[in-house]
A = this chain, B = another copy of it.
């Protein structure tokens, strides 16, 4: 006996219950609380459900129970491998405790708002966002929702809970290494456009610490995050044109830094002899490219995991911290 397929026939708990000769509640229990149901009954129900291709309707279940096992994450990009590790961290931690992760891509604040509405509308168990820069309407919504919300890499006091690290300190540590090696004409590459807010702490930090060291901090160039590798050559060209003595370049991500290294290769500039290069993020390419990149490990994977822990604390009504600083570490390699 096989079931004909793809019909618009709706299979509900009723259908399964009747076919198995039990009440709908027994079917429900079979899926939600298997050990409330006798071995034999459970097996029969499961067999019939499989036979019919029945999957419990979660919209109905969540509605009836007022709960959900889905956590929603809204990420601004998937190009940046930090977010990849972040997602993996969330995904791992979530499935370890019986939650499911669903992701929504939002490359602009408007898309973020739409994604937040979708997830709030779905009444997910928790919501994960990146950064502190949101549309006004998004913030309003987040402030009023009873759902747990975590902002990862938060740079301002979070709407609900936040996690991150001190970008200022990381910038300071990175710059110290560059200056300690004797580099003096340091260029800064930042992001323009939608990504700029997420990176907004870096430029002031750069300026402050350069000033502290008595150095000129005017060698600044902004690129578009979407440009990826190609932003590297563009930045190097621009900065070198502004100052031919440029001897170090700080990049916003390892991708941009790799682009700079590619360009250095084309120009036959030895790195770090002619110019020092730093990345940010400790993406995989940082340790594979030649020379290997000095960069900042922002612990994206751990941030992802922690994020889920914070949501669980809130759901289980445990009193957790509303902000976690996970720190960072500088990865010293050959490019400086």
Contacts and interface: CB of A to CB of B under 8 A. Distances in A.
Of the four ranges (under 10, 10 to 19, 20 to 34, 35 or more), the interface on chain A belongs to 35 or more
A259 interface: yes
Interface string A117-146: 110111100000000000001001101111
Interface string A3-36: 1011111100000000000000000000000000
B103 A229 contact: no
Contact of A143 (B5, B78, B114, B288): B5
Across chains A and B, which 3 residue pairs bring their CB atoms closest together, nearest first?
A: A53-B144, A58-B121, A229-B288
Nearest to A103: B103
Contact of A290 (B50, B78, B101, B266): B266
A323 interface: no
A210 interface: no
A53 B145 contact: yes
Interface of A: 3, 5-10, 50, 52-53, 55-63, 68, 70, 72, 78-79, 81, 84, 87-88, 91, 95, 100-105, 111, 114-115, 117-118, 120-123, 137, 140-141, 143-146, 160, 228-230, 232, 258-259, 262, 265-266, 284-285, 288-290
Contacts of A123: 57-59
B102 A50 contact: no
A63 B52 contact: no
Contacts of A88: 105
Interface of A is mostly: helix
A100 B114 contact: yes
Given A84-B79, A102-B103, A104-B101, A55 B120 contact: yes
A149 to B, nearest CB: 9
B105 A104 contact: no
B103 A6 contact: no
Contacts of A8: 146
Contacts of A9: 146
A59 B63 contact: yes
A140 B50 contact: yes
A118 B100 contact: yes
Contacts of A140: 50, 53
A258 B154 CA distance: 34
